[in-house]
Homo-oligomer: A and B are copies of this chain.
Amino acid sequence: MTLTAEQSRERAQHRYNASLELCPARQLLEAISSKWVTLVMLALEESPQRHSELRRRIPGVSQKMLTSTLRTLERDGLIDREVTASVPVRTDYELTALGRSLLPVIFGMKEWAEDNMDTVATSRQHHDRTHAGVAPKQ
């Protein structure tokens, strides 16, 4: 039998999910879109920092999320972790060369955002006002 459009779409979905996850750009997006990664990257821009320093420099981050973010960045090879076995323990984090190579990309986004997010905000307000009745979303 032949497939309906809906059926072939389903197959496409499964085929595509795999390739989507393999797409480098998608992977990067997922890697950096976690809530704290860019903040940590930027906090490490100038010099290595200790866990406690990072916590102070990034207000609002819980130590769970900070640790988890740092672990992920370390796993991705974007930062290095150095533990000094003193009492109490001291841990320093610093950007790797790979991590530093990502900074320009982050700055590129930052720049576009700073130049254009007010336009986006205006557009949102206008859209919400003119489409008041339908699908307010939030």
Contact = CB atoms under 8 A, between A and B. Distances in A.
Given A27-B120, A78-B120, 18 more contacts: A9-B59, A13-B60, A15-B59, A15-B60, A24-B110, A25-B113, A25-B114, A27-B113, A28-B112, A28-B113, A29-B109, A30-B33, A76-B124, A77-B122, A98-B119, A98-B123, A102-B116, A105-B109
B28 A38 contact: no
14 contacts: A9-B59, A14-B60, A15-B60, A25-B38, A25-B106, A26-B38, A28-B109, A28-B112, A29-B33, A75-B124, A75-B127, A76-B124, A98-B116, A101-B116
A117 B28 contact: yes
